[in-house]
């Protein structure tokens, strides 16, 4: 049961525009922009920096995307990034935190 303190925000459309327009107080992100090879703008360093800026200290992210450049862009934005075993048929996934 949710206590009223949980807010779910779904960003649809151009990710850079949607995240730019979002409030700067996200506790957690689930980044789902399809395969990085098919949607590279979703995984740009610019967008990852914006996601980092919109994340509260101690906030986190998770994503099925595990491509090297995705990991590097998240780390360059400031997140601590770790690879984890994937699930549902995925070999790996990424998760991380903002210190």
pLDDT one-digit tens code per residue, 32-50: 978 888 888 899 999 999 9
The strand pair at 55-63 and 26-30 is best described as parallel
Other CB atoms within a 10 A radius of the CB of residue 64 amount to: 19
Maximum distance among all Cα pairs of the chain, rounded to whole angstroms:
39
Q: How far apart are CA 74 and CA 53, in angstroms?
A: 12
d(CA 83, CA 56): 22
With 70 as the cut, is the pLDDT of residue 1 above it?
A: no
Q: Is the pTM of this model over 0.75?
A: yes
pLDDT at 2: 66
User: Which of 3, 98, 95, 7 lies closest to 50, judged by CA?
Assistant: 98
Domains of the chain with CATH codes: 15-97 (3.40.50.150)
């Amino acid at each position: 049961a949710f206590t009223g303190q949980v807010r779910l925000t779904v960003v649809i459309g151009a990710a850079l525009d949607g995240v730019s327009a979002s409030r700067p107080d996200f506790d957690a992100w689930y980044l789902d922009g399809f395969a990085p090879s098919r949607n590279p703008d979703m995984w740009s360093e610019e967008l990852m920096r914006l996601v980092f800026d919109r994340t509260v200290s101690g906030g986190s992210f998770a994503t099925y995307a595990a491509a090297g450049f995705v990991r590097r862009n998240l780390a360059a934005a400031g997140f601590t990034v770790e690879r984890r075993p994937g699930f549902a048929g995925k070999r790996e996934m990424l998760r991380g935190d903002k210190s």
